[in-house]
Amino acid sequence: MANKCVPIKDGLLTGPLDQLSLVHLAGSRCASCEETSLGTNSVCPNCGYDKLDHVALGDGGTLFTYTIVRHRPPGAYQGPADFKPFGLGLVELDGVIRVMAPLQLAIDDLQIGMPLKFVPYVLRTNENDEDVVAFTYESVGD
């Protein structure tokens, strides 16, 4: 039997986590100011209005900017044991929101403006024997 799947952060993902091809980033759109925010929020972070529509954000995006993480992050790092430098990008989705995410690309291939696609994946198994689902972005051509 497969492990139960849980999101890396509550309210961040939508769709059945045991079917990764159906998982998307969750968003909230304010009924007053129309601001879109990441995750399922109960109050608009822009205007404070409490009527929000929960939406699935698009899977396609554009690399707005990026940096290269060259050293293992401090603290309770939960990535691969064999750390390798990776790109961390600000990905623009639907022209309305920018999301910070790791990039699943060779660092020499990163280019501002390149099209990217959302890819959910199992990051690790937690202490409760649950598969933790996270996300990355990769090149549309992959």
Burial 80-107 (b: 16+ CB within 10 A, else e): eeeeeebbebbbbbeeebbbebbbbbee
pTM: 0.88
Q: What pLDDT score was predicted for residue 9?
A: 94
Is 134 in contact with 121 (CB distance < 8 Å)? yes
For residue 3, the model assigns a pLDDT of 85
CA nearest 64: which of 34, 85, 35, 95? 95
Look at residue 45 in the predicted model and tell me its pLDDT. 94
Per the DSSP assignment, residues forming a β-bridge with 89 are 66, 101
Q: What is the pLDDT of residue 72?
A: 86
Mean per-residue pLDDT pooled into runs of 10, the chain (142 residues)? 88 95 96 95 95 94 96 80 91 93 95 97 92 95 68
Contact 41, 96 (CB under 8 A): no
